[in-house]
Every structure is written in C-alpha cells, then in structure tokens.
Amino acid sequence: ASKTRKKTKNVAEKSVSKKTKILWLVIISLLTLVSYYPSLDNEITSWDDEFYLNTNPYLKDLSFDNIKTLFDFDTYYMGNYHPLAMVSLSVDYAIGGEDANGNINPFMFHFTNLLLHLLISLSVFWFVYALLKKFNLAVLAALLFGVHSLHVESVAWISERKDVLYSLFFVLSLISYVKYVDYQKTKYYIFSMLLFLLSLFSKGQAVSLAVTLILIDYLRGRKLLNRKVILEKLPFFIFAIIFGLIAVGAQKQSEALVDEQGYDFLQRTAIASYAFVVYIRQLLIPVNLSAIYPYPDIIHQTIPGLYYLMILPAAAIGIFFFWLLKKQKKEVAFAIGFFIVNIFLLLQFIPVGSAVHADRYVYIPSIGYVLLIAILVMKFIEKKPKNKQIIFGTFGFYMLILSGLTFMRCDIWQNSETLWKDTVKKSPTSVVAQNNLGSMKDRQAAKATDELRFEDAKNFRLEAISDFSKAIKGKPDYKNAYYNRGVSEFEVGKLMKDTGYIQASIFDFNKALEQDAQFADAYHNRANAKAELGDLAGALKDFNLALNFKPDEAKFYVNRGVTKGKSGDIEGAVTDFNKALELHSDEKAAIYSNLGKAKMLQGKIKEALKNYDYSIRLDPKQYTAWLNRALAKQKAGDFKGAVSDFNTCLEINPKMAEAYYNRALLFLEMNNKENACNDLRQASELGISFAKILMQQYCK
C-alpha cells in the first residue's frame, strides 16, 4: 500500500512544477499579509491584553525557573493552562520591549500573531495537498483560510496568541500523521505526537486532534477497528483526556466554567444548534461580526423560538454527514466531519464564559469549511469545464470581498474604544461589552486626571457610570459592574467634592461583596470611601479585610498607612509605608512622599526631606511631593527653598489650591504681603474658603 501511495504522490508532484508551487505560496502569503496588515498598528486592548501583558507576573522573566513554573500542571493563568503561549509572549516582550514612556510595545505581539497566521495558512495548503494530492484544491483552501474575516479575532487580539500557536502545531501534527499513514515511517508518527503535545501545551482546545486522526484514517480507507490502528490512537487519546481534564480544572479555578445562565439541557441543545448554524452562516457571509455574542435573556433564562428551530438544520447536517459516510463520499464527508469534530466541544453544551458563540472558536474548525468550499468549486469545474474561468473569477471576487472585510475588521480591533463601541453597537444586550466600555472610559478619565484635565476626567467618569449602570440593568448580580461603578462614583465624588457619589460607591461595593465575600479590591475601595467620609475606624477594618485576602498588595498598605496617619497612629503608618516599599510596586514615588509626610508628623524633618527627595527623583512630575517638601523646608527655616518647591508644584499643577494657600502663608511669614494676597486670591477662587478670611485681614 505504501509503494502505491508513493507512486501516486510522485505523479501528482510532476504535474505541478516547483516554480508554480512557489508562485502560489507567495500569492497566498501576500493576500494574507495585505488583508491583516492593519493589525500591526493596533494597540493593547482592555480585553485580557492588560492581564497578559501589563500585569502578567511571568511576562518579563525568561529564566529557566520561570519557564519551569509555567509548565507545572497546577500553574493556571487567566483560566487556561497554556505555558507555551505564555513563553511566546515573553519572547515577544524580550524582543519588542517598551517605548520611551515605559509602556509595553504592542507591535511585536501583533507581528508574531500575524506571522503565525501566515504559517498556518501555508500549512493548510500543505495539509490539503498531502491529504488529497490536488494542487488547485489546496490553493483554494489556503487562500480562503488566509483571508477569511472570521479569523480576525484570533489574529488581531494579542490575548489569542494561544489560538494561533496551538493551531500551527495542530495542523503540522496532522500533516505528519498523513505522512505516517502514507509511508508507515515511525519518524512521522513521532513527529505527529510531539507536535500534538506542543499544541496541547499552547491551548487545551487541541484535544480534538485525537478524533480528527480517525477522520484521516477513514479518508485513507484504513480499517478503523484494526488493532494496529486503534493502538496508534491510544497515546493521542490519553494525552487528550489528560489535557482536557487540566483545561476543565483551569476553567473551574477561574470561575469561567460556571452555568451562570441556568439553562436546562433542551435549551442548551437549542443554543448549541443555533451557534452551529450561525458559524456556518458567518463562514459563508462574515458580516455583523462582534467580539461578544451574548446569551439571550440571562435574567429570566429564556431563549427565542428561533433557537429551537435551529435544532432542525443542525440535525439535518448531522444526518447528511452520516449519509455521506454510508455512501463513501469520502472527501466531502471528511471536510464536514472535520468541522463538526473540531467545533463540537465549543458549542456550549458545557458553558464557558458569557457568549453563545465566538469568532475565535471557529479558527481550526474552519479548515473543514474551506476544504469543503474548495472541493465544491473543483467539482463544479469538473461538471462545467467551459465555465472554468467564470467560476475561478467568481471565487476570486469572493476572495477580494473577504479580504476587504478582513482589512476593515482589523481596524475595529485598533484599540479598546473602537472595539467596545463596535461591540455595544452590534450586541447591545452584552453586559460584558457595556462593562468593558465603561472600564475603557474609566481609563480615559485616569489619563485625563494625570494630565490635569479634570473636567474631561469628570465627564469620562460620568459616562462610565452610565455604561456600568446599563450592564447592571442587564445582569443585576454583575459583581464586576457594581465594583467598577463604585470606583467611578468614588472618583467623581472626590473630584466634585460630592459626598452623595461617595455614599453611592459604598452601596455598590456592598453589592459586589454580596456576590463575593472575598473580593479584596472591593474591601479596599470601600475602605477608601469610608476614609473620605471620615469613618476612619470603618476604613481600617475594611483595609484589614482586604489584606487578609491579598496580603502582598502594596497599595493596600499605602492607603491603610494614610488612614492610620489621619487617625493619629503615625508609627503604624510608617510601618505600613515601609511594608509597601518592600513589596513590588510601581508607585514607589507616592509611597516615599507619604512616608515623608509621616516623618513630618513625627517631627523628623531631616528624614522627611530625605524621603521627599527620593520621591521627586523617582517621579519629578508628582506635584504633591513638591508641595510636601516645600512645607518641610518651610518648617526647617529654608524659606527660599520652600518658595522654589511651591513654584515647581504650581508649574506642574496650576490649579492646586492647597499650594497657593500654603505659599501665601509662607509669604505672610516672610512679610511679603503683595505676593501673599495674590496667592490668597487664587486659593479663594479655587475653593479654599478660609483664604477669604485671611484676605480681609491682610489684603485691605
């Protein structure tokens, strides 16, 4: 049998020159690269990217010990066991690094995702060519796979590195297995097994490869119940089961594998059928794509009648598949079977996440679709050879449309704002999209605050509150939306000096804690809100609860230290600030400033000045440190140095009322009434009422 197969292979290869193969591989590459080119200019989105890049504790460490930790079977990250994908992100970071402002450079991550997609597209060509020995068919399948718009999510989203990485090893493993079946050489079997393991270490979704191998055996006419054929599959199925259990464990730990919607089995079947049919429609006509396709009516757990109706076409496709098997329509049966086998576990029979279906789920299953389309095109040409040019022209036009849709879809993934605005527009009932849109506006508010654009910051926060409220309306037990709305309300309350917003934030933190009594960040922010309202004892209690659940969070110690200082426990404040400095923190400048303030309250002026110097050296734009150092210098009798620091503080933040007021007091102490009165006037206009009293006394 192997000799016959080898002879067939040689005949097929002679019919297509090497030059022709190279030419078409170049064309496939160029069309794929052009279609996805906009993704190279995309930013880091707020959907998981920040966790995989900005806060990923493993990202910046390529040491052997760190890599070993990632490969430990109990090391889960973001609800996944995917050590190889994590290592690949670290390699990208090592190459691309950070920009001049210390922000992670996204280009290398996007470049690698696109490179992997290109390699997969070329691998699809070699897989189909090895499988069916039909060059034109392989070209059509690879072209369709390379430019398809439904793959944008897997390519343009940095967090889906696991998707494209596992897929590359998946297809290469299939190619090796085809070679093993054709030539019966053990090395190809070993290659296939090793590549399968690499795929599993990239993403648990690779488990479906074990069943896919049976389809290859069927296509090749092997006896599926033959002892040798069964034993060949045994290691693949053992690894699939092991990694499948690991994947389920990872999802459970992250709470992603939770039947939040509470749908019964019949409803699940209807939802799965609906998703199955929608995937086929999206593969044919990829329009109105969205990052999230939410469950219907998650409050009452009902689904539209359309979902139940979709059981009929889904069942019909299944019946048609078995009819093809019976009639030995092997090529078409293989293509449809490939799609069914690789999409089945992703049809939400076991609920994962908050979406009915997702574009990324169809990445590998779509190989079955592109193969089916290629087969049908070639069969149509065989029946209508005179219409060959028209058929190829129509296919080419379809490719151009897909390429254009892909190009535009990549722009939707440009940044968080473009992504979530599009998602809310396409899926207005998606509570996750509403929550993420609010979070994006919250980040815009934080940036505006850093840039002293306080009116913009207030408006962004109010918009965020509106978005979070919409999410809560759609899901009244949405913990994260309550928490996020509470954070926005607290910040607005501080900015507007409105205790009503701060009290509202406490209500929202309480609601979040009703859903999760171990929500450390909710305790921490409720503590901040209580401290702002003057409830220092209640704040300290909440800080302690937060630290019980997150004992290594530096900012918890910092804010507890500030509250201890306000309550008169200066020694306790110093202890907390020192503890925060021992921990990894990006806010060391602020910590040193707070430590300096505590030393001031202890009367240790020299130590206070030393800490302020550290703070300013770490962050010269931190205006509060300049203000505090000015006050320390004033107390030490260095009036000239104090005036200089007040001046610098106001250069950075010209609207800081406290700086004008304290500089006015210094000028009064220096008998400089003219400058003092000017500063008192500024302080009064910025809201310090006591400045008016001093103006009446000194500025007649």
Which pLDDT tens digit goes with each residue over 373-426? 999 999 999 998 888 899 999 999 999 999 999 999 999 999 999 999 999 999
Average pLDDT over residues 155-168: 97
Task: Look at the chain and report how many structural domains it folds into.
Answer: 2
Classify residue 73: in a domain, yes or no: yes
| Paired strand residues for 538 | none
Give the separation between CA 305 and CA 320, rounded to whole angstroms.
24
Classify residue 150: in a domain, yes or no: yes
Domain's final residue, options 493, 516, 539? 516
pLDDT tens-digit profile of 235-260?
Answer: 999 999 999 999 888 877 765 545 54
For position 436, which CATH number holds? 1.20.58
Classify residue 151: in a domain, yes or no: yes
Phi, psi of 409 (to 5 degrees): -65, -35
Contacts of 440 (CB under 8 A, 6+ apart): 46, 416, 417, 420
Classify residue 279: in a domain, yes or no: yes
Domain's final residue, options 351, 382, 412? 412
Classify residue 462: in a domain, yes or no: yes
Classify residue 208: in a domain, yes or no: yes
Q: What is the CA angle 324-325-326, rounded to 5? A: 90
Average pLDDT over residues 314-334: 94
Q: How far from the centroid of its chain's Cα atoms is residue 106's Cα?
A: 13
Shared domain for 291 and 204, answered yes or no, is yes
Shared domain for 111 and 161, answered yes or no, is yes
pLDDT tens-digit profile of 450-460?
Answer: 888 889 999 99
Q: How far from the centroid of its chain's Cα atoms is residue 677's Cα?
A: 53
Does 99 have pLDDT greater than 90? no
pLDDT tens-digit profile of 588-627?
Answer: 888 999 999 999 989 999 999 999 999 999 999 989 999 9
Task: Please tell me whether residue 293 adopts helix, strand or coil conformation.
Answer: strand
Shared domain for 405 and 434, answered yes or no, is no
The answer to which of 228-242, 432-446, 461-475, 573-587 has the lowest mean pLDDT is: 573-587
pLDDT for 206: 96
Does 582 have pLDDT greater than 60? yes
pLDDT tens-digit profile of 662-672?
Answer: 999 999 999 99
| % of the chain residues with pLDDT over 90 | 77
Does 112 have pLDDT greater than 70? yes
Shared domain for 44 and 157, answered yes or no, is yes
Identify whether the C-beta of residue 635 lies closer than 8 Å to the C-beta of residue 605. Answer: yes
pLDDT for 682: 93
The pLDDT confidence band at residue 11, using thresholds 50, 70 and 90, is very low
Average pLDDT over residues 649-664: 93
Domain's final residue, options 456, 487, 516? 516
Domain ranges, residue 482: 430-516
Give the separation between CA 145 and CA 151, rounded to whole angstroms.
8
Does 10 have pLDDT greater than 80? no
Does 354 have pLDDT greater than 90? no
The pLDDT confidence band at residue 696, using thresholds 50, 70 and 90, is confident
Q: Which tokens in the block code for residue 271? A: 């939802």
Does 563 have pLDDT greater than 90? yes
